[in-house]
Structure formats: structure tokens, C-alpha cells
Amino acid sequence: MDYSNIITPKRLTNMQELEVYVNGPDGANRLFILSGMAEVELCGGLPHPRWSLEIVCFDIGRKYDCENGENVVKIVATAALAGGRTDGVASFAGWQIFGAAGELDQSDCRVRMNIAAGARDTQAFLEQICFHVNVLAKVNE
């Protein structure tokens, strides 16, 4: 697999988290609602105009105690454009979120956010992506 288009954000900002006690399926007893913004710098590709495709990956939220029975039941994730810019003359400028998904990273028992994003035109830059993640989990009391 080619990992050359996987990047991490420069930083995460405006992070917010809400923990809700629930009585859900498969023993789920918490709903974690997380949101924030990822600062990135993506630009279009060559030959001009070509869409770039980058996968923005980062861990979010708490670390689950997977060894002692904590687990994630379901993750719902979304992402949207939050900020972009053009430098010079950008004739075919465009920005797009191609998709977003969350998954439990088994190696460190944290939720990994994956956002497929891109820009079109070498003078078009995507700078900020906002995201929202709902994590239904079973945690120890």
C-alpha cells in the first residue's frame, strides 16, 4: 500500500468533548461526542488542474482499556471544509472532502480519525477541516 498521501494535521484546535451515559446495544454505556478543527495545508496536483487526494489521520479522544474489556461498539464520523485560500491566479480552484471515517486503532486502543480531502489547482490550498465524531463505547465504571 502506498502511504505517501497520508498526513497528520499541523494541529487540532477548538477541541470539544461531551461524555453521555447511555444504555446502548452490545453493553455500550457511554456516548462520546467529539468535535474540532484540523489545520492542514493541501494543494492541487500536477498536471494542472488535477485533484490532489490526501488522507488526514489523527487520534482523538480517550484511550480505551482494551485489555480489561473496554471496547468501541460504533463510530460515526463526518468532516467538512472549514477554510481555504488561493495564491496568485487560481483558474480551476476547488476543495473537497471525499469522505470521513473513524476506527479503533487496536495497537493503542484509541479512535483514529481518517479524512480523505483534496484541492484542485496548484494555487488552491485547503487549510482547515472541521470534524465531528460520535463514539458509542463500553467502558469500565
Torsion 51-52-53-54 (CA) sign: negative
Chain mean pLDDT for the chain: 92
Task: Give the count of domains, the chain.
Answer: 1
Q: Does 75 fall in a domain?
A: yes
Whole-number Å distance between alpha carbons of 27 and 101: 23
Q: Does 1 fall in a domain?
A: no
pTM of the predicted model as reported, rounded to 2 decimal places: 0.90
* All cell numbers assigned to 12: 487540532
Residue 42's closest CA among 135, 140, 117, 137?
117
Give the pLDDT band (50/70/90) at residue 4: low
Contact (CB, 8 A) for 106 and 8: no
Q: Does 27 fall in a domain?
A: yes
Domain holding 60, by residue range, is 6-138
Q: Does 97 fall in a domain?
A: yes
Q: Does 62 fall in a domain?
A: yes
pLDDT digits (tens, 9 = 90+) for 34-83: 999 999 998 887 777 788 899 999 999 999 999 999 999 999 999 999 99
